[in-house]
């Protein structure tokens, strides 16, 4: 995820302090990976340098100064361009699971067992996400569904690979 | 999983041991074992024709196995009379099938209440309980419609209400979302597993869909007529 573009997009609704931006980002997009304060401030410094945000005010307190950031016209144009540009689909051709299966076959290890163990690990995570989704709001559900569909695709591949293991063993030998 | 005693009473709610079932010369089950504890949701998965529906039917006493035993709550199913087995299926077991299998001539509320009527509950009380379950399954608005007049998703929720209304200890669900789109399937699974967990009922869930299996606590894979616990690779019961 582009943190810079996302923070910039969050600023379109109005100026915010770095801390508020972090909180908003974590709430909406952070899930299991909240932003570090350092990431926010280094990103805001870069956006400031590039003229995409400006300092809207500074509050002095007992701690460090709190800058409030506002998006510039150039920033708004940048957000629009980013949203209109399709993300490059992940080709999934560099596949660790495939490499492990081939190496297991080449070295005479238990490739079928490897696939079974991986399938169980995938299903374990699917159970966890399904529980989380069932208890969550619509945003949680959509985020979990995205992960669940990808895990399901992996499991379908694992099952297909299991069915084709004998042929693959013949080809890679 | 629980350990088996000499009497075959495992402490588990239901245990099957070395089940065999033949259709002609084809072995649908070839020494399959299975166990489920109270309140557990167990997914039974496997390729088409692997014997997973046959396993469910044998566990529920719908089919009689050619070999092996099924113990429910300490009682061996094959030792029960037909009347006792029927009573068990009406009182202790609930069933959800892929296409609902509701009685087309009855209204939805009458279909749900039927489970209770068959156990001797009067019409008023049966329909009142049925309505509570229909509300919980979010289909109370179709109470007076016949199954043919409601959507597939609503029909399946009515079927889930019918399976749960009599307070079963064990629900058998055979591809309960197989005929539904993904959103309806998801809702049916949430309602089915949520209600089962609330009431402490165990669920045997036959499915080919890993997204449905993800609602379970654990998974048993049926392959070549054998049932193996997916996590341990060990037979579902000794």
Asked if B213 and A152 come within 8 Å (Cβ–Cβ), the reply is no
Nearest CA in chain B to A120: B231
A120 and A165 part of one domain:
yes
A66 and A19 part of one domain:
yes
Do residues B227 and B43 lie in contact, with contact meaning Cβ atoms separated by under 8 Å?
Answer: no
Residue A30 lies in a domain: yes
For position A172, what pLDDT does the model report? 87
Residue found under tokens 């506002």: A70
Q: Which residue has the higher pLDDT, A10 or A93?
A: A10
- Tens of pLDDT along A159-171? 999 999 999 999 9
For position B236, what pLDDT does the model report? 59
**B210: nearest CB among A116, A134, A152:** A152
Q: Helix or strand or coil: residue A52? A: coil
User: CB within 8 A of B120, min separation 6: which ones?
Assistant: none
Asked if B210 and A155 come within 8 Å (Cβ–Cβ), the reply is yes
Contacts of B192 in chain A (CB under 8 A): none
For position B225, what pLDDT does the model report? 86
Q: Is B231 on the interface with A (CB under 8 A)?
A: yes
A47 and A106 part of one domain:
no
- Given strand B218-223, what is the order of strands in its sheet? B93-96, B170-174, B202-206, B41-45, B218-223, B226-229
A101 and A74 part of one domain:
no
A39 and A12 part of one domain:
yes
State chain B's mean pLDDT as an integer: 89
Nearest CA in chain A to B216: A127
Instruction: Copy the structure tokens of residue B166.
Output: 């009599």
**A148: nearest CB among B211, B216, B233:** B211
State chain A's mean pLDDT as an integer: 92
The alpha carbon of B167 is separated from its chain's Cα centroid by a whole number of angstroms, namely 13
Optimal mutation site among A123, A125, A132, interface B, most CBs of chain B within 10 A: A123
A80 and A17 part of one domain:
yes
Contacts of B230 in chain A (CB under 8 A): 116, 119-120, 123
Give the best-scoring range by mean pLDDT among A60-74, B93-107, B134-148.
B134-148
For position A32, what pLDDT does the model report? 79
Do residues A28 and A2 lie in contact, with contact meaning Cβ atoms separated by under 8 Å?
Answer: no
Percent of chain B with pLDDT over 90: 70
Residue A89 lies in a domain: no
- Tens of pLDDT along B54-65? 999 999 999 999
How many domains, chain A? 2
Question: Chain B: nearest CA to A130, how far in angstroms?
Answer: 6
A54 and A109 part of one domain:
no
Percent of chain A with pLDDT over 70: 97
Task: Tell me the residue range of the domain where A149 lies.
Answer: 96-172
**A152: nearest CB among B211, B219, B230:** B211
Residue B132 has pLDDT above 60, yes or no: yes
Do residues B115 and B165 lie in contact, with contact meaning Cβ atoms separated by under 8 Å?
Answer: yes
A7 and A79 part of one domain:
yes
Residue B8 has pLDDT above 60, yes or no: no
The number of CA neighbours under 13 Å toward the Cβ of B226 is 8
Residue A106 lies in a domain: yes
Choose the final residue of a domain: A34, A51, A84: A84
Nearest CA in chain A to B187: A134
Do residues B37 and B12 lie in contact, with contact meaning Cβ atoms separated by under 8 Å?
Answer: yes
A7 and A73 part of one domain:
yes
Residue A38 lies in a domain: yes
Residue A47 lies in a domain: yes
**Average of pLDDT values for A76-80?**
96
Asked if A123 and B219 come within 8 Å (Cβ–Cβ), the reply is yes
**Average of pLDDT values for B199-226?**
93
Please report which confidence band the pLDDT of residue A62 belongs to, taking 50, 70 and 90 as the band edges. low
Choose the final residue of a domain: A27, A50, A84: A84
User: CB within 8 A of A27, min separation 6: which ones?
Assistant: none
Residue A31 has pLDDT above 70, yes or no: yes
Residue A20 lies in a domain: yes
Choose the final residue of a domain: A49, A84, A119: A84
Residues 143-202 of B with CB under 8 A from A: 190, 194
Please report which confidence band the pLDDT of residue A92 belongs to, taking 50, 70 and 90 as the band edges. confident
A104 and A39 part of one domain:
no
Residue A37 lies in a domain: yes
Separation CA B144–CA A46 (nearest Å): 64
- Tens of pLDDT along A99-154? 999 999 999 999 999 999 999 999 999 999 999 999 999 999 999 999 999 999 99
Q: Is A169 on the interface with B (CB under 8 A)?
A: no
Residues 108-147 of A with CB under 8 A from B: 116, 119-120, 123, 126-127, 129-130, 134
Please report which confidence band the pLDDT of residue A65 belongs to, taking 50, 70 and 90 as the band edges. low
Optimal mutation site among B210, B222, B233, interface A, most CBs of chain A within 10 A: B210
For position B3, what pLDDT does the model report? 40
Separation CA B145–CA B134 (nearest Å): 13
A13 and A51 part of one domain:
yes
Please report which confidence band the pLDDT of residue B1 belongs to, taking 50, 70 and 90 as the band edges. very low
CATH number at residue A42: 1.10.10.10
Residue B193 has pLDDT above 60, yes or no: yes
Residue B6 has pLDDT above 90, yes or no: no
Optimal mutation site among A130, A145, A165, interface B, most CBs of chain B within 10 A: A130
Of the candidates A13, A80, A110, A158, which has an alpha carbon nearest to the alpha carbon of residue B210? A158
For position B164, what pLDDT does the model report? 94
Residue A90 lies in a domain: no
Reduce the secondary structure of A93-119 to three states and give it as a string: CCCHHHHHHHHHHHCCCCHHHHHHHHH
A46 and A101 part of one domain:
no
């Amino acid at each position: 995820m582009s943190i810079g573009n996302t923070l910039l997009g969050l600023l379109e609704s109005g100026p915010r302090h770095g801390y508020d931006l972090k909180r908003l980002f974590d709430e909406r997009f952070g899930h299991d990976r909240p932003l570090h304060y350092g990431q926010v401030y280094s990103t805001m410094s870069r956006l400031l340098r590039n003229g995409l945000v400006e300092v809207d005010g500074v509050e002095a307190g007992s701690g460090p100064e709190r800058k409030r950031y506002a998006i510039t016209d150039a920033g708004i144009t940048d957000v629009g361009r980013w949203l209109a540009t399709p993300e490059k689909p992940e080709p999934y051709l560099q596949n660790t699971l495939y490499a492990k299966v081939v190496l297991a076959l080449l070295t005479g290890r238990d490739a079928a067992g490897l696939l079974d163990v991986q399938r169980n690990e995938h299903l374990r995570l699917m159970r966890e996400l399904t529980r989380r989704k069932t208890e969550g709001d619509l945003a949680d559900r959509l985020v979990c569904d995205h992960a669940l569909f990808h895990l399901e695709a992996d499991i379908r591949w694992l099952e297909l690979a299991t069915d084709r293991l004998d042929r693959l063993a013949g080809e890679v030998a | 999983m629980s350990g088996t005693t000499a009497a075959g009473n495992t402490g588990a709610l239901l245990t099957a041991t070395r089940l065999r079932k033949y259709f002609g010369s084809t072995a649908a089950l070839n020494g399959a074992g299975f166990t489920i504890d109270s309140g557990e949701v167990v997914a039974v998965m496997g390729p088409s024709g692997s014997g997973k529906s046959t396993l469910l039917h044998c566990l529920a006493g719908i089919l009689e196995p050619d070999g092996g035993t099924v113990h429910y709550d300490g009682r061996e199913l094959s030792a029960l009379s037909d009347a006792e087995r029927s009573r068990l299926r009406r009182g202790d077991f609930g069933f959800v099938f892929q296409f609902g299998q509701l009685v087309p001539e009855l209204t939805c509320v009458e279909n749900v209440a039927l489970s209770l009527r068959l156990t001797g509950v009067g019409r008023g009380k049966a329909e009142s309980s049925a309505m509570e379950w229909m509300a919980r399954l979010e289909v109370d608005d179709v109470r007076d419609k016949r199954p043919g007049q409601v959507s597939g998703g609503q029909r399946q929720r009515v079927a889930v209400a019918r399976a749960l209304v009599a307070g079963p200890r064990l629900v058998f669900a055979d591809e309960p979302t197989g005929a539904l789109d993904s959103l309806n399937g998801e809702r049916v699974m949430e309602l089915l597993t949520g209600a089962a967990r609330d009431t402490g009922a165990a669920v045997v869930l036959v499915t080919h869909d890993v997204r449905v299996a993800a609602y379970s606590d654990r998974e048993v894979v049926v392959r070549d007529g054998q049932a193996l616990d997916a996590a341990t690779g060990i037979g579902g019961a000794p």
